[in-house]
């Protein structure tokens, strides 16, 4: 059994994530180096987790299973590299290895957190409460960075032109947006657990500050994350209230979350995401306004133009424009990838086309373009065999938890399970639509921690 303090120290690495990301920004913008603090520290942490897996493999069958799985994943990636070195031109080995370092981060940390939580469970450590606290501290650091950078006018812009949005002192807007969306339901969990009455509703302040920071981003992910979390809070608290827990605490939190949802709806017209939606519509040449003629026309002329006016009254929005509005041009890259995959030889179909598929010589300072929809990126990069191998543990444990949750609904329909579940649903949803979750170590560490916590706390994962 490992030392409890060491285990908690490894878990507390979650708190340092926003600090590492700020230092990464400094590395890129001040020192102008590509080997950033984030890359080094997160790689070292992954190495520590791997050593933990290997150490526990001597005494744990579960750890041995995880080690064998990772060896198999390494074999699949080696085959991928060998195939593409011969069939892909141009081929940049360093870029490929860098990408696969990001790909393996989630499974390694997921397995590592599983064993870490199991060890904490043996120590009778309240690991869910500890994890909630660490997520809360990370959220407070993120909120402080956003607010201070905004007030001092030092915030980085999330967009280069047309749209409005700020990323604080965080370099990657998509990644910090995904992190905040994943953390947000845990701050709601903290608020609900601590708030006993309206007098103690100040415990919702961390949630409020993080929500405001997410609105600063100006992204659909940020805005949608707030709506989903507040809606989940309202609905779950209402169900709990109706089914028996008619307590002052439940009623208070339900009303607070409902009030915040109403406040969000009222403030929407002044948020950056609202302006950005109209800017995006303008870029797509979509005009939703209806122009009414002010001057009187000749009766005969007006009669002749009547049919034409009727046709112009309703703006027509094509399916392609809707897809562009939702996916921000990702659907165009997806279409290109599908064509390249269709033309690829069978070995590349089975074991993947490597990082970013087939690409031409990139312009100076630019890398190959990915789809930025994680499951598609993983499928085309790893191929049929590689993708199924990668996704198998995720699907296996997710399905087991869903079955467990539904089967024991009376016991499992609790605010902690609902909020942590919403956190992982947001991670999967953002990964599928906006990317930068399962292929971004800064984000995948939070997704791995949430999923592991649910598996171990529910008893789905146990030492065998």
Looking at residue 175, its pLDDT comes to: 94
Kindly report, residue by residue over 307-347, the tens digit of the pLDDT: 544 444 555 656 565 555 455 667 788 888 999 999 999 99
323 is a domain residue: no
311 is a domain residue: no
Kindly report, residue by residue over 302-313, the tens digit of the pLDDT: 555 555 444 445
Looking at residue 33, its pLDDT comes to: 79
296 is a domain residue: no
Looking at residue 265, its pLDDT comes to: 95
Which domain, by its residues, includes 28?
4-280+353-458
392 is a domain residue: yes
Q: With a cut of 70, list the residues of the chain below it in pLDDT.
A: 1, 160-162, 278-329, 362-367, 464
Looking at residue 390, its pLDDT comes to: 97
Looking at residue 232, its pLDDT comes to: 97
Looking at residue 328, its pLDDT comes to: 61
Average pLDDT over the chain reads 88
Which neighbouring-strand residues pair with 157? 166
Number of domains in the chain: 1
340 is a domain residue: no
337 is a domain residue: no
402 is a domain residue: yes
Looking at residue 293, its pLDDT comes to: 47
Looking at residue 70, its pLDDT comes to: 98
Looking at residue 327, its pLDDT comes to: 57
Looking at residue 167, its pLDDT comes to: 92
432 is a domain residue: yes
Kindly report, residue by residue over 54-69, the tens digit of the pLDDT: 999 999 999 999 999 9
Predicted TM-score (pTM) of the model is: 0.90
């Amino acid at each position: 059994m490992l030392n409890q303090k060491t285990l908690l120290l490894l878990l507390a690495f979650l708190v340092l994530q926003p600090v590492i990301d700020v230092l990464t920004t400094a590395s890129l913008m001040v020192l102008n180096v590509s080997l950033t603090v984030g890359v080094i520290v997160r790689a070292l942490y992954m190495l520590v987790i791997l050593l933990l897996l290997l150490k526990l493999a001597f005494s744990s069958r579960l750890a041995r299973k995880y080690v064998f799985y990772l060896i198999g994943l390494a074999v699949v990636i080696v085959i991928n590299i060998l195939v593409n070195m011969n069939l892909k031109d141009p081929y940049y080995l360093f870029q490929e290895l860098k990408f696969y370092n990001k790909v393996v981060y989630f499974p390694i940390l997921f397995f590592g957190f599983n064993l870490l939580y199991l060890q904490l469970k043996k120590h009778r450590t309240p690991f869910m409460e500890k994890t909630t606290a660490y997520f809360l501290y990370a959220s407070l650091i993120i909120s402080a960075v956003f607010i201070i950078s905004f007030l001092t006018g030092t915030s980085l812009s999330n967009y280069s032109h047309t749209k409005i949005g700020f990323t604080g002192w965080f370099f990657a807007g998509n990644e910090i947006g995904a992190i905040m969306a994943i953390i947000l339901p845990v701050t709601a969990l903290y608020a609900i657990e601590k708030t006993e009455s309206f007098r103690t509703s100040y415990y919702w302040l961390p949630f409020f500050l993080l929500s405001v920071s997410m609105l600063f981003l100006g992204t659909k992910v940020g805005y949608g994350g707030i709506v989903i979390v507040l809606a989940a809070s309202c609905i779950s608290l209402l169900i709990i209230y109706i089914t028996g827990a008619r307590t002052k605490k439940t009623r208070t939190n339900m009303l607070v979350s409902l009030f915040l949802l109403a406040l969000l709806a009222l403030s929407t017209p002044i948020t950056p995401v609202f302006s950005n939606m109209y800017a995006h519509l303008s870029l797509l040449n979509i005009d939703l306004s209806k122009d009414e003629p002010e001057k009187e026309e000749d009766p005969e002329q007006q009669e002749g133009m009547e049919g034409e006016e009727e046709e112009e009254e309703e703006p027509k929005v094509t399916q392609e424009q809707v897809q562009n509005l939702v996916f921000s041009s990702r659907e165009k890259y997806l279409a290109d990838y599908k064509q390249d995959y269709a033309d690829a030889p069978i070995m590349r179909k089975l074991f993947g086309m490597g990082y970013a598929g087939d690409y031409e010589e990139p312009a100076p300072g630019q890398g190959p373009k990915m789809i930025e929809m994680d499951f598609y990126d993983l499928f085309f990069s790893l191929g049929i065999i590689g993708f199924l191998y990668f996704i198998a543990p995720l699907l296996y444990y997710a399905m087991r938890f869903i079955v467990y949750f539904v089967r024991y609904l009376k016991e499992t329909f609790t605010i902690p399970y609902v909020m942590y579940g919403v956190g992982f649903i947001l991670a999967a949803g953002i990964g599928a639509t906006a990317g930068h979750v399962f292929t971004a170590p800064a984000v995948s560490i939070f997704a791995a921690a949430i999923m592991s916590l649910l598996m171990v706390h529910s008893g789905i994962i146990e030492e065998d």
